Amino acid sequence: MKNIYLELLQNTSKNKITLLKDVNYRIQIDKKGKFEYVYIPYFDFKKITEFIRSLNDYQIYTMIPILSMDGRDEDPQIILSKQILLSSYSDPKLIADFLNKQLEIAIKDFEIGSLDRFHYLIFKYKKVELNI
Protein backbone atom coordinates (compact mmCIF):
# COMPACT_ATOMS: atom_id res chain seq x y z
CA MET A 1 0.00 0.00 0.00
CA LYS A 2 2.82 2.39 0.88
CA ASN A 3 4.54 1.65 -2.44
CA ILE A 4 1.36 2.39 -4.39
CA TYR A 5 1.00 5.77 -2.67
CA LEU A 6 4.65 6.63 -3.33
CA GLU A 7 4.20 5.69 -6.98
CA LEU A 8 1.10 7.91 -7.19
CA LEU A 9 3.03 10.80 -5.62
CA GLN A 10 5.91 10.44 -8.04
CA ASN A 11 3.71 10.15 -11.13
CA THR A 12 1.09 12.82 -10.41
CA SER A 13 1.26 15.37 -13.26
CA LYS A 14 4.77 14.19 -14.05
CA ASN A 15 4.47 13.00 -17.68
CA LYS A 16 0.91 14.14 -18.39
CA ILE A 17 -1.57 16.31 -16.54
CA THR A 18 -3.49 14.37 -13.89
CA LEU A 19 -7.00 15.74 -13.46
CA LEU A 20 -8.94 14.96 -10.31
CA LYS A 21 -11.87 13.69 -12.40
CA ASP A 22 -9.64 11.03 -14.00
CA VAL A 23 -8.65 9.28 -10.78
CA ASN A 24 -9.73 5.65 -10.70
CA TYR A 25 -13.19 5.37 -9.15
CA ARG A 26 -11.89 2.76 -6.67
CA ILE A 27 -9.64 5.36 -5.04
CA GLN A 28 -11.58 7.44 -2.55
CA ILE A 29 -10.52 11.06 -2.32
CA ASP A 30 -11.11 13.10 0.81
CA LYS A 31 -11.28 16.75 -0.29
CA LYS A 32 -12.11 18.21 3.11
CA GLY A 33 -10.14 21.21 4.15
CA LYS A 34 -9.71 24.84 3.32
CA PHE A 35 -8.31 26.14 0.06
CA GLU A 36 -5.15 28.22 0.06
CA TYR A 37 -4.09 30.64 -2.66
CA VAL A 38 -0.85 31.47 -4.46
CA TYR A 39 -0.71 34.52 -6.72
CA ILE A 40 1.74 34.28 -9.63
CA PRO A 41 2.24 37.45 -11.68
CA TYR A 42 2.31 37.06 -15.48
CA PHE A 43 2.44 33.21 -15.46
CA ASP A 44 6.02 33.46 -14.15
CA PHE A 45 7.60 30.00 -14.71
CA LYS A 46 10.10 30.48 -11.89
CA LYS A 47 7.24 31.15 -9.43
CA ILE A 48 5.31 28.11 -10.71
CA THR A 49 8.43 25.98 -10.12
CA GLU A 50 8.94 27.45 -6.64
CA PHE A 51 5.34 26.70 -5.73
CA ILE A 52 5.53 23.06 -6.86
CA ARG A 53 8.88 22.52 -5.12
CA SER A 54 7.46 24.00 -1.89
CA LEU A 55 4.76 21.31 -1.63
CA ASN A 56 5.10 18.62 1.02
CA ASP A 57 6.98 15.60 -0.41
CA TYR A 58 4.46 13.14 1.01
CA GLN A 59 1.21 14.88 0.07
CA ILE A 60 -1.04 15.14 -2.97
CA TYR A 61 -2.87 18.39 -3.69
CA THR A 62 -5.74 19.47 -5.89
CA MET A 63 -5.36 22.80 -7.64
CA ILE A 64 -7.73 25.02 -9.59
CA PRO A 65 -5.87 27.42 -11.93
CA ILE A 66 -7.51 30.83 -12.23
CA LEU A 67 -6.74 33.90 -14.33
CA SER A 68 -7.36 37.23 -12.60
CA MET A 69 -6.54 40.69 -13.86
CA ASP A 70 -6.04 42.34 -10.47
CA GLY A 71 -6.17 39.46 -8.01
CA ARG A 72 -9.28 40.75 -6.24
CA ASP A 73 -11.90 38.20 -5.15
CA GLU A 74 -14.82 40.41 -6.10
CA ASP A 75 -13.62 40.89 -9.69
CA PRO A 76 -14.37 38.46 -12.55
CA GLN A 77 -11.99 35.54 -12.95
CA ILE A 78 -11.51 32.82 -15.54
CA ILE A 79 -11.01 29.21 -14.42
CA LEU A 80 -8.48 27.71 -16.81
CA SER A 81 -9.16 24.02 -16.21
CA LYS A 82 -10.80 21.41 -14.04
CA GLN A 83 -8.96 20.49 -10.83
CA ILE A 84 -5.40 19.28 -11.40
CA LEU A 85 -3.65 16.91 -9.03
CA LEU A 86 -0.15 17.98 -8.00
CA SER A 87 2.70 16.80 -5.83
CA SER A 88 6.21 18.08 -5.24
CA TYR A 89 7.27 15.59 -7.95
CA SER A 90 5.05 17.20 -10.60
CA ASP A 91 6.79 18.68 -13.63
CA PRO A 92 6.61 22.50 -13.55
CA LYS A 93 7.19 22.73 -17.32
CA LEU A 94 4.32 20.34 -18.01
CA ILE A 95 2.04 22.39 -15.73
CA ALA A 96 3.14 25.73 -17.25
CA ASP A 97 2.77 24.46 -20.84
CA PHE A 98 -0.71 23.07 -20.09
CA LEU A 99 -1.84 26.32 -18.47
CA ASN A 100 -0.42 28.43 -21.31
CA LYS A 101 -2.34 26.27 -23.78
CA GLN A 102 -5.51 26.71 -21.69
CA LEU A 103 -4.89 30.47 -21.62
CA GLU A 104 -4.58 30.55 -25.41
CA ILE A 105 -7.93 28.75 -25.69
CA ALA A 106 -9.54 31.22 -23.26
CA ILE A 107 -8.17 34.21 -25.17
CA LYS A 108 -9.54 32.81 -28.43
CA ASP A 109 -12.91 31.65 -27.04
CA PHE A 110 -13.63 34.84 -25.09
CA GLU A 111 -12.17 37.05 -27.83
CA ILE A 112 -9.76 38.76 -25.47
CA GLY A 113 -7.54 41.12 -27.45
CA SER A 114 -4.37 40.49 -25.44
CA LEU A 115 -3.02 40.09 -21.96
CA ASP A 116 -0.46 42.87 -22.23
CA ARG A 117 -1.51 44.46 -18.97
CA PHE A 118 -0.67 43.07 -15.55
CA HIS A 119 -2.47 39.87 -14.52
CA TYR A 120 -2.22 36.99 -12.07
CA LEU A 121 -2.30 33.25 -12.37
CA ILE A 122 -3.91 32.12 -9.12
CA PHE A 123 -3.46 28.60 -7.80
CA LYS A 124 -6.38 27.74 -5.54
CA TYR A 125 -5.14 24.58 -3.86
CA LYS A 126 -5.49 22.24 -0.90
CA LYS A 127 -4.25 18.88 0.34
CA VAL A 128 -6.29 15.80 -0.45
CA GLU A 129 -6.21 12.39 1.16
CA LEU A 130 -6.33 9.28 -1.00
CA ASN A 131 -7.79 6.08 0.42
CA ILE A 132 -6.33 3.30 -1.68
pLDDT of residue 28: 83
| Residues 1, 132: Cα–Cα separation, whole Å | 7
pLDDT of residue 1: 55
**pTM confidence score:** 0.91
- Domain map of the chain by residue range? 2-131
pLDDT of residue 72: 86
Mean pLDDT along residues 55-81: 93
Mean pLDDT along residues 9-33: 89
Helix or strand holding residue 35 (H, E): none
